[in-house]
Structure 1
């Protein structure tokens, strides 16, 4: 497929569901003049309990959809898809600027004082070769110990939209408390859904008298890397009179994605259900 290579073309962003909106928020803040398209692959979510082959197939399918709609660059705003599929996406489209999200192990290793870092992520992310290689590399360089905690079911609950639900509070206690007991003083939010329950995590920390714990969210770094790639490819849209557009697409329920835009980002873009 011929890639649109014009600065005025939109940036494509996708996730298994609404978690990538936490990354989209940073992209909009840093590049308010860029047109954006967001795909929530909610009809095939969650990715965290799927096979690597399944996630690769979904990532490639969504990438083709975004390219067919003129995307000049791609943000894989999903930790699981980044770990499982970004290599395949780059191999198929070597000319396309592609940014993924990785758990912030490096900034966490720099931030920890105890040397123990808790990592909350999906089971698929924590089992991925890409993640395990990153952990080994940073552990060897920094001597930081990474305590891995799969947060089974948390993405599903966040997708339902009630971020203050008792089920979410119970899961956060279940998953965060053991990391605190093992001495973690830094927690990596290793899934783009998790920043939306940051206040719930902070309540768990407070209940355990651990307000000193540092939370690591990599959305800001992802947006900066996107800007570097666009600038290198001469694809940054010049700031000017252009009113940036945002369009949402979902393989699930359009009303649910529209509600997520409103609740999580206070935005009301057009949202369309698509068969990808």
Structure 2
């Protein structure tokens, strides 16, 4: 039965597990397969052509594993490759992720929004066009150099991470932002640290819950929502050492090394 086939997700590493958690919370009966392409992380420092090629590689593998829907659980991949992905893979639903500018624009009180994202996201044409469409707010962009690498190597709470985050956040705080968008799926794991570095009055937003709701909507619309009453299986594949991925996933998950 096609509706019991898994949802496929991929990211340039462990970051997209923040999206997986929201989908699993909302849709616990769905089977899921997650690809952590940590070997090629971070996507944010790669060219557009490289990003497209990596996305195609990941999606081909998820389709081989009979996934019924693909979530591009990476802002950089979405902003650089989503049009090419949807044009090529037109027989399967594809859900992308973009920085949560829309909810930030509706929540801000002073019309000053900060966005922390990768170089690949901020320099993409899709991101630039989105930013230009919000003429009623001022958006301050900051590239999070080296943040993904530190997360991927298990250094979330390291002095270097705190120092880097502080250097990226303070200029936006000084400009008076009241809303901060985490524009990379890795960054929600930094939220506890970020909350200690910026005023409590600043609202922090990511895309996770919105992507989960959109996933459910598309599954319903496509008549692909699982009818199973059992908790779905969760399988995670990584092309590097699985030990770090284990710290971001439930203990009952299946985690395997896969050469892809």
Q: Same fold (TM over 0.5)?
A: yes
Shift of 1:165: 1.2
Deviations 1:169-209 (A, max 9, x none): 1111011100001111110000001110101000001xxxx
Corresponding residue number in structure 2 for 1:30: 26
Q: Does 1:121 align with 2:147?
A: no
Cα RMSD of the aligned pairs, angstroms, is 1.2
In the alignment, structure 1 segments of 5+ residues that lack a partner are none
Q: Aligned equivalents of 2:89 and 2:49: distance in 1? A: 18
Q: Aligned equivalents of 1:121 and 1:50: distance in 2? A: 14
Q: Does 1:258 align with 2:246?
A: yes
Q: Aligned equivalents of 1:88 and 1:244: distance in 2? A: 30
Contact 1:161 1:260 in 2 (8 A): no
Q: Does 1:224 align with 2:213?
A: yes
In the alignment, structure 2 segments of 5+ residues that lack a partner are none
Shift of 1:222: 0.2
Q: Aligned equivalents of 2:150 and 2:167: distance in 1? A: 14
Corresponding residue number in structure 2 for 1:274: 258
Contact 2:108 2:179 in 1 (8 A): yes
Shift of 1:257: 2.0
SS in structure 2 at match of 1:171: helix
Shift of 1:93: 1.1
Q: Aligned equivalents of 2:57 and 2:153: distance in 1? A: 24
Q: How does 1:111-260 map to 2 (within 5 A)?
A: 111-137=107-133, 139-140=134-135, 143-205=136-198, 210-240=199-229, 242-260=230-248
Contact 1:73 1:96 in 2 (8 A): yes
Corresponding residue number in structure 2 for 1:71: 67
Shift of 1:166: 1.0
Deviations 1:143-187 (A, max 9, x none): 101100001001111112232111111111011100001111110
Corresponding residue number in structure 1 for 2:93: 97
Contact 1:258 1:268 in 2 (8 A): no
Q: Aligned equivalents of 1:133 and 1:37: distance in 2? A: 32
Q: Aligned equivalents of 1:260 and 1:248: distance in 2? A: 11
Number of aligned positions between the proteins:
260
Q: Aligned equivalents of 1:267 and 1:39: distance in 2? A: 17
Contact 2:4 2:228 in 1 (8 A): no
Q: Aligned equivalents of 1:24 and 1:197: distance in 2? A: 17
